Structure 1
Amino acid sequence: MTEPYAVPVPRGYRVGAWEVREPIATGAFGSVYGGRRSGDGDGELPPTAALKFLPTGTGTPRQLTHLRELIEREVDLHRRLRRPRLIRMYETLVVDDPARPELDGATVLVLEKAEHSLSALLDAEPRPSAGPVLLAQICEGLAQLHHAGWVHGDLKPANVLLMKDGSARLTDFNMAAELEGTHAYTPAFSTPDYTPPELLWSEIGERGRRIRPSADVWAFGVLAHLVLTDSFPLPGGTPTARRDAAAAYARGTDELRLSPELPDAWREIVRDCLTRTHADRIGTDALLRRVETAAGTGRSPRLPRLFRRRRRRQAAIAGAAAATAAVAALGYGISTWASGGNDGSTDASSAGYGASELRTDQGVPVEYRRLIVNSAHTCAQPDVTPPLIAAMLKSESNFDPNLSDPGNQEFGIARWTPGVLRWWMRDDGVPASATPTPPLSPSVSIPAMGRYLCFIDSHLKDGLPGDKRLLVAAGYRTSYRKVNDTGGVPPKYRDYCARVAHYLKEYTPPGKT
């Protein structure tokens, strides 16, 4: 196991009727292991399965409060929907093992075990010959979800599993949401390359982000283009560049330029999925009919025999882990994290950087000015300002990048708990799969603070008494839910917020409030 697992489980560990076997994959929301049923288990259960371990929390005060919600929404969908194109859940278990506090209380989803994911197949064989048939099956899975009144919310190659017979299943439903009329509400996280432009900068309300089935249709259009051409439909070498291209396309300042390698039968299908507005997007039923025609399949298509013969060769290319992995059962695959961009270095222009917003004469270290100002600018909420971030860094650590408080599991200039930082350290909205190890650099910690403060601000109730900036600061120390439930700054954090208020006043330029 070369990658730190979100939930480490030793081989041979027993939970319910299952014995943990090989590690399969890990991601931000949990870890997946192969499982073997013991002889005394339920005879209706299969001999093998994928065991998805989901933690229920940590001992830190800033454990993200929506983790429980993500678990519950995934379990709820599995329990209520049984469809042939959705990965099957056999049962759920809860670990009862006080001797192992890192596992005690964890939720375990016992899932149908796949051979590998579409992501692994595309790595092994770009533009696979079975691509059209797989797309028909994926589209069928979306139609099944939408007819049942659910939106997937995070369709991408890692969330499509390929079974032993080569057929496709949709998986990872912790972003799925049940429709309430024309909309559903889903958490703020998503994968930028597969997110429609109307949601890239959409407002996040107290219940999350409003989403329609048309968001899955956009994601399918991107997925189809990738499967059939080995390229994304929007230009750019990075997710950020492609996100900007999607915004330009949505504004009408750029056109959609599909790859010339896209087969003619699919060109209009993809174009009708990737319309500028959700209202112009093709409906799921009409999409399924056209996809089945283009793929040359009927209902519940089977994969060509040629693909089944080639599976072993593809698995060998992809590597043993990919061959047996249910990577998609995690939803967020395995990714690396990096600071990228601002590294906090000092240059001649840093001393006065952002002077109109952040005072230059009150002791904010020069090497952090760019990080502080730029991190505040990534948030559209007016309360998340450079003086607020600077005041909180002063209150948290006195700008000490080497702060270490292992008793509270808090480290670095922003006093991050590593297991929580992983959720906020990337600028593409995807949590890092590996938990960072202290020391935690300012170039990671400060931008992550800005993103988390923005999230808190958008989730605070309207009409709470007091300075909104201090309510955001209190939410950083506890949670936005605690602030909402208290109806303001909880008594325990009033001294902390008083310190933040003091430095806010010091760091705010004259004439600003």
Structure 2
Amino acid sequence: MTEAYAVRVPRGYRVGRWEVREPIASGAFGSVYAARRRTDDNDAGPPGLPGRAALKFLPTGTRTPRQLTHLRELAERELELLSRLTSPRLIRLYEALTVDDPSHPELDGATVLVLEKAEDSLSALLGRTPAPAAGPVLLAQVCAGLAQLHRAGWVHGDLKPANVLLMADGSARLADFNMAAELEGTHGYTPAFSTPDYTPPELLWAEIGERGRRIRPSADVWAFGVLAHLVLTGSFPLPGSTPTVRRDAAVAYARGTEVLRLSPELPSAWAEIVGACLTRTHTGRIGTEALLRRVETVTATAPAGARFRRPSRRTTVLGAALATASVAALGYGIATWAGDVVSGDAKGRGAPANGAALYGAEDLRTDRGVPAAYRLLIVETAHDCDQPAVTAPLIAAMLKVESDFDPDLSDPALDEYGIARWTPRVLRWWMNEDGTPGETVPSPPFPPAESIPAMGRYLCWIAPRLSAGLPGDRRVLVAAAYRTSWNVVNKAGGVPGEYRAYAARVAHYLQEYTPPGRK
């Protein structure tokens, strides 16, 4: 079974001028954590260094010799590209560090890339909103990023939605350059890994030499064509219900035994662009500069309102976004918990990480029905509270009782909505991470990414206001106060009679979700 983290870094760990906060993503080759710059550090660092960043840990000091060679190559590729290229369409590298900490041998020697922190990813956006209205604008920005890379003599090598990050101002950045290749004439060399759905047919059967697999800029053009079709129609251009079936369809198409059937939902101008990207052979594909001109021309005629809006607090939390039924982590060149990075052998086999289902196992049982999609939110929300009574099992138990983990719950009769049954006028006071109330009463729906952290903040406020001598489990008393108020619980000397059935259900699931030895 895949480990939840390639590199486990405790919350609060310090590396350089940075303090590690919540996890963002993890995969076979590394792990990404949110971080904040330490205010007690006299070294302000390079000019323009932000207060928050994303730390990408690569375990370059703790693996086998073969693994270390591979990891160092990945790190060197990304460092080389980001240190040499500065572009508004590429994710920014602030600095690179090496962990020097013999007291933590599992971290000692790790390479740490300090990267610009995104608000969202294209993968997460598509999970929430297939074929978004802002699709043409985002595609134009992605294409501009590819053109900038190719002009500088680099091929991305792994373009896909998870590797397109969306910033706070709504702009798109290309990320994950550990598969990038610097051109030597018409070709470069990249490791033998890729995501089958975005790999051109000629690379699916390409020979792999000592330096890796030969790659051309036309590989990025093919990937852009697939990406554009997916963004604009919500479907892949080649038929099949799995990546393996679609890979076989791509091979058949390249050999002339299948034709390319684009979705009828694709606008005609974009159908011409996608068709020019997805030719059977690389020689027939449109060049990047010509592609950019055509994309910009088409985008200029898009409706004026088709612009990507800044993600609200309802769709971003803890550096991750909820996409359908799984946590879609931001793509910093790491296989996410949804398992969207696959090792690119000839048969397209891969082993997705299973970290979402395992996350926080020491705090919250993994075998009692807590949906994997919400484990990160639940566990990290509990960690953000310093009250012993506010635990991950308590939050999970309350969500179970409040809504049965239903993110779309709507009960207008009680004016309660979402997974935590928030009343809008009450949620207003707990929706902001900095403790300030919202400027206006929010309107439902209330996504879990907003509801669960707000629940934690409210519980953390309730806990110290309950009288010290109340009988019963302190955690259950906190839950009862959430349903009524801390003042009512104090006056009743415990759980009020009308809330005892509710409290009993919370107590039942609290016991269910608490790991052995944590009772």
Normalising by the residue count of structure 1, what TM-score does the alignment of the two structures yield?
A: 0.63
Give deviations 1:310-354, integer Å, cap 9, x for gaps.
Answer: 6445548x97567998621024323459xxxxxxxxxxxxxxxxx
Structure with higher RCO (Cα < 8 A, 6+ apart): 1
Match of 2:332 in 1: 329
1:108–1:214 CA distance, 2 compared to 1 (3 A): same
Classify the secondary structure of the residue corresponding to 1:329.
coil
Q: May I ask how many residue pairs the two structures share in their alignment? A: 348
For the residues of structure 1 that align with 2:278 and 2:321, how far apart are their CA atoms? 35
Q: 5+ residue gaps in structure 1?
A: 338-421, 438-513
Between 147-156 and 33-42, the greater mean CA deviation after superposition:
33-42
For the residues of structure 2 that align with 1:162 and 1:106, how far apart are their CA atoms? 27
Given the alignment of the two structures, is residue 92 of structure 1 paired with residue 93 of structure 2, yes or no?
A: no
Q: 5 Å matches for 1:110-509?
A: 110-296=114-300, 307-308=308-309, 311-315=312-316, 320=321, 327-336=330-339, 428=348, 430=350, 432-434=352-354
1:429–1:266 CA distance, 2 compared to 1 (3 A): same
Classify the secondary structure of the residue corresponding to 1:33.
strand
For the residues of structure 1 that align with 2:253 and 2:29, how far apart are their CA atoms? 32
Please tell me whether the aligned partners of residues 236 and 242 of structure 1 are also in contact (alpha carbons under 8 angstroms).
yes
Q: Return the offset for 1:304.
A: 5.2
For the residues of structure 1 that align with 2:313 and 2:280, how far apart are their CA atoms? 41
1:188–1:117 CA distance, 2 compared to 1 (3 A): same
Give deviations 1:244-280, integer Å, cap 9, x for gaps.
Answer: 0000100001100000011112000000000000000
1:135–1:332 CA distance, 2 compared to 1 (3 A): same
Q: What amino acid is aligned across from residue 52 of structure 1 in structure 2?
A: K
Match of 1:30 in 2: 30
For the residues of structure 2 that align with 1:70 and 1:59, how far apart are their CA atoms? 14
Please tell me whether the aligned partners of residues 120 and 321 of structure 2 are also in contact (alpha carbons under 8 angstroms).
no
Q: What amino acid is aligned across from residue 152 of structure 1 in structure 2?
A: H
For the residues of structure 2 that align with 1:174 and 1:310, how far apart are their CA atoms? 27
Q: What amino acid is aligned across from residue 109 of structure 1 in structure 2?
A: L
Classify the secondary structure of the residue corresponding to 1:49.
strand
Give deviations 1:415-463, integer Å, cap 9, x for gaps.
Answer: xxxxxxx9799952555435899xxxxxxxxxxxxxxxxxxxxxxxxxx
For the residues of structure 1 that align with 2:33 and 2:236, how far apart are their CA atoms? 31
1:290–1:177 CA distance, 2 compared to 1 (3 A): same
Q: Return the offset for 1:173.
A: 0.2
1:246–1:163 CA distance, 2 compared to 1 (3 A): same
How well do the aligned residues superpose, as a CA RMSD in angstroms?
3.0
For the residues of structure 2 that align with 1:97 and 1:231, how far apart are their CA atoms? 47
Q: Return the offset for 1:59.
A: 5.0
Question: What percentage of residue pairs aligned between the two structures are identical?
Answer: 72
Pick the aligned partner of 1:67 from 66, 71, 74: 71
Please tell me whether the aligned partners of residues 7 and 31 of structure 1 are also in contact (alpha carbons under 8 angstroms).
yes
Match of 2:7 in 1: 7
1:425–1:335 CA distance, 2 compared to 1 (3 A): farther
Please tell me whether the aligned partners of residues 193 and 345 of structure 2 are also in contact (alpha carbons under 8 angstroms).
no
1:303–1:194 CA distance, 2 compared to 1 (3 A): farther
For the residues of structure 2 that align with 1:431 and 1:49, how far apart are their CA atoms? 29
Q: What amino acid is aligned across from residue 236 of structure 2 in structure 1?
A: F
Please tell me whether the aligned partners of residues 95 and 107 of structure 1 are also in contact (alpha carbons under 8 angstroms).
yes
Q: What amino acid is aligned across from residue 332 of structure 1 in structure 2?
A: A
Q: What amino acid is aligned across from residue 206 of structure 2 in structure 1?
A: S
1:235–1:23 CA distance, 2 compared to 1 (3 A): same
Match of 1:385 in 2: none
Give deviations 1:202-251, integer Å, cap 9, x for gaps.
Answer: 00011100000000000000000000000000000010100000001000
Pick the aligned partner of 1:42 from 41, 44, 66: 44
Between 133-142 and 260-269, the greater mean CA deviation after superposition:
260-269
For the residues of structure 1 that align with 2:53 and 2:65, how far apart are their CA atoms? 34
Please tell me whether the aligned partners of residues 168 and 310 of structure 2 are also in contact (alpha carbons under 8 angstroms).
no
Q: What amino acid is aligned across from residue 44 of structure 2 in structure 1?
A: D
Match of 1:16 in 2: 16
1:9–1:100 CA distance, 2 compared to 1 (3 A): same
Match of 2:110 in 1: 106
1:89–1:431 CA distance, 2 compared to 1 (3 A): farther
Please tell me whether the aligned partners of residues 192 and 429 of structure 1 are also in contact (alpha carbons under 8 angstroms).
no
Please tell me whether the aligned partners of residues 190 and 430 of structure 1 are also in contact (alpha carbons under 8 angstroms).
no
For the residues of structure 2 that align with 1:111 and 1:59, how far apart are their CA atoms? 23
Q: What amino acid is aligned across from residue 334 of structure 1 in structure 2?
A: W
1:319–1:151 CA distance, 2 compared to 1 (3 A): closer
For the residues of structure 2 that align with 1:27 and 1:87, how far apart are their CA atoms? 19
For the residues of structure 2 that align with 1:94 and 1:425, how far apart are their CA atoms? 31
For the residues of structure 2 that align with 1:57 and 1:427, how far apart are their CA atoms? 31
Give deviations 1:63-90, integer Å, cap 9, x for gaps.
Answer: 3632211111111101011111000000
Q: What amino acid is aligned across from residue 143 of structure 2 in structure 1?
A: C
Classify the secondary structure of the residue corresponding to 2:208.
coil
For the residues of structure 2 that align with 1:21 and 1:130, how far apart are their CA atoms? 31
For the residues of structure 1 that align with 2:278 and 2:338, how far apart are their CA atoms? 27
Give deviations 1:99-137, integer Å, cap 9, x for gaps.
Answer: 111100000000000001100000011001100000000
Please tell me whether the aligned partners of residues 423 and 432 of structure 1 are also in contact (alpha carbons under 8 angstroms).
no
Q: What amino acid is aligned across from residue 330 of structure 2 in structure 1?
A: V
Give deviations 1:452-486, integer Å, cap 9, x for gaps.
Answer: xxxxxxxxxxxxxxxxxxxxxxxxxxxxxxxxxxx
1:324–1:258 CA distance, 2 compared to 1 (3 A): closer
Normalising by the residue count of structure 2, what TM-score does the alignment of the two structures yield?
A: 0.62
